[in-house]
Structure 1
Amino acid sequence: MIYMRKHIFRAVAFVALSISLWGCASYNDAVAPYYKNVSAANYPQAEKELDKNSLIQKPRNQLLYFMEKGRIAHLRGEYQESNKYFNDADQLLDNGMKSAGDEAVGLLVNSMSQKYKGEDFEKFMIHYYKALNYLYLHQTEDAIVEARRITLQAQEQGDKFNNKDTRYSNDAFSLMLQGMLYESNNDVNNAFISYRNAADIYLKSPDKTYYGTPMPLGLQQDVIRTARLNGFTDEADRYENTFGIKYDAPPASDGGSLIVFWENGRAPIKEQSDLFFTLVRNSNGDFFFDGGGGVMIPFNYTGDRSKVNTKGIESLHVAFPKYVAQVPYYLGADITVNGSTTPFIKAEDINELAFKTLQQRMLNEMGKVLARLAVKKIAEYSLREAAKKDNGKTNSLIEGLGYGVQLYSLFSEKADTRNWQSLPSYISYARVPLQKGANHIEIKMRSANGTSEVKTIDVEGKGGLQFYNYATLR
């Protein structure tokens, strides 16, 4: 019997060590060569690294793979190929990512082993890149379809949080983009509605900011300008009073106008944070996880509560993701067109969105993780109790299984550190007038050490609204 116990302990220790070694690296560590080449703007090599990476090729990471492939194809200027992958990502999301089997994996193993379902703001960003791809492919109607899908995405998010929750359920920048897309199609009525909806999101906040982004002056002007174009004089006057500005739109330029999006830096990465909780029972017999500092999370245990010994569950180790910001190399930028300089204004702070949306769902996510761990712990305790015989001796096999569950629970716990990390840290934009014919444009970016870099492009002014996006992912 002693011989059997010895080999059982060796076996569970080996399994635990294997799980520990397999699970110590974060997603960012495992896909680092890809992101290193993205940051260096070496996009062909980045794509090669992505295609040969075994982790992101796994079925559970299919959504991440499609989003990254779509992003890298967009950066390479392969817009048709880019939308092929973004459409694949859309198809996955439309079909639904949840299943009983996947939920069981999350309960019995860890959330890192489940299918990656995407952050809410990542889903909005798919529409951003798809719309730009379609515009560059001169498929305006398809770009307008993406504009409409932004509204559907917002409604889906609103339903998810019952439209009463203060959590992230809409995206002001996406609504601004929606307005721009409608305007490019000469649909000024829907453009006004989109701009107004975006502005109203900012106005709901006491300081008129939305996830770290003050309301852009350009958005305020777009609301007033399109209101007047529609003949909504009262609306235009009301928003002038609300914004505290007086705005008279300049005459339309012969060459039309250009909206430039500057995508700067890289989205934050996820790392693992380790926390510890104890399971306690109140006077009514209800269970709670106590994390100290006043953090109490209820645990709705459906089993026989009388058989749960909370003293046997001394502590629970929780692995939870945390974001780590990547400081962009460039701090700001201006755009100069035909001798006139305009500053870029921040429109979307993905860095802030990532931190705040994770914080908003933290207690709910932590409750799921703790419930999973508690079930494992209760199973471990039950096995160890069952190993005790009436004659005072111990059943070594059952005892070994109990210790195996203990070690498995300890070493299999792993935070989900996946996210779409090739997204920019933030997006700024500028709307500039174009003259008829050739326009020489300079985008001047400033770094923290005082140096600057200039990107030059040439645009043909031909009337109407055009778009251009430029990425500095370091």
Structure 2
Amino acid sequence: MPRARSIAAVCLLAVLTGCASMRTDKTHYAGTEKMLARADYSGAIAQIEAAKEKSYAYKDRAIYYLDIGMLYHWNREYEKSNEFLEQAERAIEDNFTKSLTRKASTLILNDNAQAYAGEDYEDIYLNVFKSLNYLALGQNDSAFVEVRRINNKLAQLEDKHEKMARKLNEAEEAHEDFKPGKSPFQESALGRYMSMMLYRNEQKWDDVRIDLEKIARGWKLQPDLYPFDKPDFSGSTQRLSPPKARLNVIAFSGRSPEKKAATFYIHTEENLIVLAGTSENYLGKQNLTGLTAIPWWGMAAGYHFKFQLPSMEKHPSQVGWIEVAVAEHGTPEKLQRLESLENVAIETFGIKKPLIYLKTVTRAVIKGLAAEQAKSQLTANMDSGIAFFTRLAADLVVDQTENADLRMSRFFPAESAIRELHLEAGEYDVKINYYSTNGTLLHIDNRPGTHVEAGKLNLLESVYLN
């Protein structure tokens, strides 16, 4: 009878806390880093497609669309890329909208159980790559639509998370006001640069000037996002007469950040939960007052709970600099860094860190208290040895259901760099060379027969995801 009761205890706690462990599965990405390093995008596509049914649940469909959409972009299958990136954008919007209309009581559900609504940087930069797809397909008007969406999303970024905070505050389990952090991302140099090229192609010089001013404003107001020299745009407003033409080179390098889990602890006092050092360590610049010790009326002293939080970490890139070499056009020219997509990813993730933090703390306390109560009731009449193992098994169940949500797409780049060349109209053999910081040549992207036409937008895109 005691053994049956111990099994019942574990089963009841499993139901109470969510039934099953919800870890972020990353096994289907194994080997893709080497594929990216050797530009084997078709191999990576095949691997992700093969993992579609097994590794991407319906709630993760936005990640699948982002992953496969970006891989098709790198493989220069632009129509397929846009097909999937369009689905990703719709899934992200739909999932976020559903999260706002869902009952506030879902505050106690683990984030891994929710449909993935995307990271802000994913939602913004998918429009960049949709725009690049359209440019490659010669559909400049559609490319312009995507560029405008970038600016619209940036303008709505803080309001988006304010809406989520208001929804969380409706939950009866809320013991502290949910407040998002402030958005550090007001202007995208990459988005404005693409806008500038499109306006210039239409001879709209006043709009060109405005976009370049917006880029300069971004450098001034967003030093954490742009901790490097602003590119020289002096040639961008130079009006060329045929047969002179512009060749704009844009190169992407490195790989997007990855989420890692960190474990934190809660200690309870009477009517209070204490999180020693946690808010400062996790929230950083987005720290909000009052989140180290939270009033919790009716709380008893002496409980100890643990929980996990996700953080973004950069992938170290081998690329130190990039240069473009055009046959019979003098010495190669270095590309200038334009935007750190990885900086944007980490900084915009900080906007919702206070929401993730407080939501996770609340959930950990509620589930921890429920588990303690269930353990006490179910082990009251057990043999001490069996009771010990029952409590241990129950704790394992609770811990497994509180894993951090580490989901995000894997095939965005870390950085972009640019160079504008003024050439005679014609065809050229172009090479984009990627070097390490110590000058070792890592990769050559050969582009023989690159056509450059006067009075047209001649954009050459290159990538080395390493």
TM-score normalised to structure 2 length:
0.80
Pair 1:358-2:349 in alignment: yes
Q: Which residue is 2:130 aligned to?
A: 130
Partner of 1:83: 82
User: Aligned residue for 1:290?
Assistant: 275
* Matched residue, 1:245: none
1:451 paired with 2:440, answer yes
1:385-424 aligned at under 5 Å gives the runs 406-424=395-413
Identity %: 19
Matching of residue 69 in structure 1 with residue 94 in structure 2? no
1:254-305 deviation digits (Å, cap 9, x = unpaired):
2421211111121122222222222345xxx5x444233785446576xxx3
Matched with 2:284 is none
| C-alpha distance in 2 between matches for 1:32 and 1:184 | 42
- By how many angstroms is 1:170 displaced? 4.1
Does the aligned pair in 2 maintain the 1:56–1:62 contact within 8 Å? no
Query: Does structure 2 conserve the Cα–Cα contact (< 8 Å) formed by 1:12 and 1:403?
Result: no
Give the structure 1 partner of residue 142 of structure 2. 142
Q: 1:365 to 1:103 in 2, by over 3 A?
A: farther
1:52 pairs with 2:50: yes
Contact 1:257 1:433 in 2 (8 A): yes
User: What's the C-alpha RMSD, in Å, of the aligned pairs?
Assistant: 3.6
User: Per the alignment, do residues 344 and 6 of structure 1 end up closer, same or farther by CA in structure 2, a change over 3 Å counting?
Assistant: same
Tell me what 2:198 maps to. Answer: 181
> Mean alpha-carbon deviation: is it higher for 358-367 or for 137-146?
358-367
Q: Which residue of 2 aligns with 1:217?
A: 231
Paired position in structure 2 for 1:230: none
| Partner amino acid, structure 1, of 2:460 | Y
Helix, strand or coil for the counterpart of 2:126?
helix
Distance 2:333 2:196 in 1: 21
Pair 1:201–1:288, CA change in 2 (3 A): farther
Q: Does 1:380 align with 2:395?
A: no
Q: Deviations over 1:239-268 (max 9, x none)?
A: xxxxxxxxxx47556242121111112112
The 3-state SS of whatever aligns with 1:374 is helix
Q: Distance in 2 between matches of 1:168 and 1:140?
A: 26
Deviations 1:165-194 (A, max 9, x none): 353354332222222222233333333222
Q: TM-score normalized by structure 1?
A: 0.79
Instruction: Give the aligned partner of residue 157 of structure 1.
Output: 157
Q: Please, which of 313, 321, 326 is the counterpart of residue 324 of structure 1?
A: 313
Is residue 258 of structure 1 aligned with residue 276 of structure 2? no
Q: Which residue of 2 aligns with 1:233?
A: none
Which one of the candidate residues 448, 453, 473 is aligned to 2:465?
Answer: 473
Report the 3-state secondary structure (helix = DSSP H, G, I; strand = E; otherwise coil) of the residue aligned with 1:126: helix
SS at match of 1:198: helix
Specify the code of the residue in structure 2 equivalent to 1:182: Y
Pick the aligned partner of 2:300 from 309, 323, 336.
309
Residue number in structure 1 paired with 2:258: 269
Measured at CA, do residues 51 and 430 of structure 1 come closer, stay the same or move farther in structure 2, by a change above 3 Å? Answer: same
1:158 to 1:185, Cα distance in 2 relative to 1, 3 A: farther
- Please state whether the residue corresponding to 1:330 is helix, strand or coil: coil
Q: AA paired with 1:466?
A: N
Summarize the Cα distance change of 1:447–1:201 in structure 2 as closer, same or farther, 3 Å threshold. Answer: closer
**Rounded Cα–Cα distance in structure 2 between residues aligned with 1:96 and 1:449:** 45
Q: 1:323 to 1:3 in 2, by over 3 A?
A: closer
Q: 1: CA distance between counterparts of 2:224 and 2:465?
A: 23
Q: What is the DSSP-based 3-state SS (H/G/I as helix, E as strand, rest coil) of the residue aligned with 2:337?
A: strand
| SS of 2:320 mapped into structure 1 | strand
In 2 relative to 1, CA 335–216 (structure 1 residues): closer, same or farther, beyond 3 Å? same
- Residues 255 and 411 of structure 2 are in contact (CA less than 8 Å); yes or no, is this contact kept in structure 1? yes
Paired residue secondary structure (2:232): helix
Shift of 1:346: 0.9
**Quick check: 209-218 or 79-88, which moved more?**
209-218
Distance of 2:158 and 2:107 partners within structure 1:
27
- Asked if 1 retains the 8 angstrom alpha-carbon contact of 2:13 and 2:398, the reply is no
Compute the displacement of 1:325 (Å): 2.7
What displacement does 1:85 show?
Answer: 0.8
Query: How many residues were matched structurally?
Result: 429
Deviations 1:323-343 (A, max 9, x none): 333222321111123225321
CA distance in 2 between partners of 1:9 and 1:94 (Å): 40
CA distance in 2, matches of 1:132, 1:293: 41
Task: Give the counterpart letter for 1:350 in structure 2.
Answer: L
- Label 1:347 to 1:213 Cα distance change in 2 as closer, same or farther (>3 A): farther
C-alpha contact 1:260 1:467 (8 A) present in aligned 2: yes
Structure 2 counterpart of 1:38, which letter?
L
Q: Distance in 2 between matches of 1:454 and 1:84?
A: 29
Pairing 1:12-23 to 2, within 5 Å after superposition: 19=20, 23=23
- Unmatched 5+ stretches in structure 2: 163-179, 281-290
Contact 2:253 2:415 in 1 (8 A): yes
Q: Which amino acid aligns with 1:377?
A: G
Alpha-carbon distance between aligned partners in 2 of 1:157 and 1:76, rounded to the nearest angstrom: 31
